[in-house]
Amino acid sequence: MKRFSNATCALALLFASLTVKAQIPKLNSYPQQTQAAIFLDFDGQTVTSPYWTSTPFYATPAVLTIDQVTRIFNQVSEDYRPFNINITTDSTVYFATPFTKRQRVIITDYSSWYGSAGGVAWTNSFRWGLEVPAFVFSNLLNNNAKNVAEASSHEAGHSLGLEHQKTYNASCALIAEYNSGIGTGEIGWAPIMGSSYSRNLSLWHNGTSGSCSSFQDDIATIAGSANGFGLRTDDIGNTTSQAATVTITGSTFATSGIINNTNDVDVFRFNFSQNGRLTLNAIPFNIAGGFQSANIDMKVELLNNAGVLLNQFNPSTTLQATIDSMLNTGTYFLRISNVSNANVSNYGMLGNYNISGSFQAGSTLPIYDLQLSARVNNSKHELDWNIIADEPIETIKIQISTDGRNFTSLQDVNGSLRQFSYQPLEKTKLFYRLHVTTASQLQYYSNIVSLRADRSNAKYNLNSNFINGNSIVVNSNGSYNWRLVDMSGRQFASGRMNTGYNRIDAAALSSGIYLLQIIDGTEMNTEKLVKQ
């Protein structure tokens, strides 16, 4: 995905319309916006431009199905959803847009004129008014719809002023021109302006670009005054007083919203005239199974009428968030936001989401609170929990998982017990939750907690990589210096831990990803932490 950094020629580009091999659907992501557009051009063009070659050439149509074209459009649209810009496949819409606020991206099967890159663009060409196109070479991307979409967003990003997101080592030596991200599965992440083909969660990023000390804020650059279109207006209020009321039809409801900046919070109001059971699923916009091409890791918080937090829902290895809870009569608020995960901060988690669910009236609320906590102690995993209930607890099933999603039963315990410990055989990170059944046969799940693999011979054991409370707990086998920094290297705290139990204050940390560096002489170990 090579790009050029500047232009030296001021000649206009001439496009000649040619026969379309397939009828491309006319799609628009934000038809209300007529002042800024990115045109995804799939049907072939003859190009005459000194910016690219001295002789005209024909960029042949992309060999893609209509379904693939639609998927590519949807993915690129989602990447640009927070911005006040229209993604279109309609040339008439493109030409009706001011010529200094539009960019054509030609998606073509013809690449030999240029080389082996997935695409190419001139940086800042969006605002030149010279009709200089960007290119995506679908044949070199195996005509894979996801890869073509990633390249299209990337090259359009160059035209809007973005450089590559790069990676450097601790000595400031360049490791990779394209940051390829980290992680696997739904929450595997890479920056759009890096190499995002193999990751599901591809996002705008605030990371190293020109040098190891030079950070590029992708969102601020795209939405900056130079491009002239900015971010969309917030669609849902951020506070309980500004909440959007959700209407329940029969027993079901559905609504949607857009997270359009890093700190955006959308609040919805529910009015329940009877006791009942609320089930709800909040999912990010996605293209296919496994939340492909989604851009948000969802966090859902349930608040009472006074705005007091009752519970929060954010599974650690999936992008969706679900609620299954018994509620008494009254008004409740649902607070929707993005959230950091083990791979990336919430900086670029912007886009559309949908909420759907049901409320089944007629039930009471036997359990008011169900909280699970856990720790590692002498190679044992110790669990304890708190239950506040109006009726007896019949059974408690302790469930275990290696991925945080697929749980199996570990142990059934008496409903009166509140503690459990054992020494696991697995040498990987483990996740735990409780499945509780009341005397009236109502069933509940606790929050999910994670514990690291057994490290009995290690210098220290970090209790969890997730900071769910206000402290970081480390069991140390020696006295070591430590410091807490963010992903940019900015230091928040430092100190020296003693042999045994150590608690590091994390109350002042906002949501995001942090690094705990533990130093023993010349050796330094680094642990990644996520504050939710």
Per-residue pLDDT tens digits for 474-483: 888 888 888 8
| Residue found by looking up tokens 């670009």 in the block | 209
Matching fold, domains 240-361 and 460-531: no
411 vs 39, residue with greater confidence: 39
pTM, full prediction: 0.78
Instruction: For residue 61, name the pLDDT band (cuts at 50, 70, 90).
Output: very high
- In the prediction, which pLDDT does 1 show? 52
Give the pLDDT band of residue 313 (cuts 50, 70, 90).
confident
Domain covering 240-361 in this structure, CATH number? 2.60.120.380
What residue ranges do the domains of the chain occupy? 1-232, 240-361, 367-451, 460-531
pLDDT confidence of residue 22: 54
pLDDT at 513 over 90: no
Residue 13 has pLDDT above 50, yes or no: no
- For strand 393-401 and strand 351-361, is the pairing parallel, antiparallel, or unpaired? unpaired
The CA distance from 16 to 12, in Å, is: 13
Predicted pLDDT of residue 224: 97
User: Highest mean pLDDT range out of 305-314, 352-361, 418-427?
Assistant: 352-361
**430-438/298-303 β-pairing:** unpaired
With 80 as the cut, is the pLDDT of residue 217 above it?
A: yes
| CATH code of the region 1-232 | 3.40.390
Q: Which CATH class is domain 460-531?
A: mainly beta
Nearest CA to 164 out of 183, 182, 179, 149 is that of 179
CA 188-191-193 angle, to 5 degrees, is 150
pLDDT of residue 488: 65
Per-residue pLDDT at 364:
60
Sign of torsion, CA 118 38 296 248?
Answer: negative
pLDDT digits (tens, 9 = 90+) for 236-274: 999 999 999 999 999 999 999 999 999 999 999 999 999
Q: Are the C-beta atoms of 33 and 85 separated by less than 8 Å?
A: yes
Q: Which of 258, 232, 262, 259 is nearest to 35 (CA)?
A: 232
Would the pLDDT of 416 be above 70?
yes
More confident residue, 521 or 418: 418
Question: Between the ranges 4-13, 285-294, 349-358, 516-525, where is the mean pLDDT highest?
Answer: 349-358
Judge whether residue 375 has pLDDT over 90: no
| pLDDT of res. 10 | 31
Q: How confident is the model at residue 319 (pLDDT cuts 50, 70, 90)?
A: very high
**Is 90 exceeded by the pLDDT of residue 348?**
yes
Please give the pLDDT value at position 289: 83
Q: Number of C-alpha atoms within 13 angstroms, CB side, residue 30?
A: 27
The upper half-sphere exposure of residue 153, i.e. CA atoms within 13 Å in the direction of its Cβ, equals 30
Q: What is the pLDDT, as a whole number, of residue 280?
A: 93
- 204 contacts: CB under 8 Å, gap ≥ 6: 79, 191, 192, 193, 218, 219, 222, 347, 348, 350
Token readout for 412 is: 């059934």
Confidence at residue 77, expressed as pLDDT on a 0 to 100 scale: 98
Mean pLDDT for the chain? 88
Closest alpha carbon to 197 in 222, 178, 177 = 178
Confidence of residue 11 (pLDDT cuts 50, 70, 90): very low
Three-state SS at 503: strand
Token pair recorded at residue 177: 């021109």
- 126 pLDDT more than 90: yes
Q: What is the average pLDDT across 196-225?
A: 94
CATH code for the domain defined by 367-451: 2.60.40.10
In the structure encoding, which two tokens stand for residue 169, read together?
A: 């080592």
Longest dimension (CA), the chain: 82
Average pLDDT of the residues in 177-183: 93
Average pLDDT over residues 116-133: 95
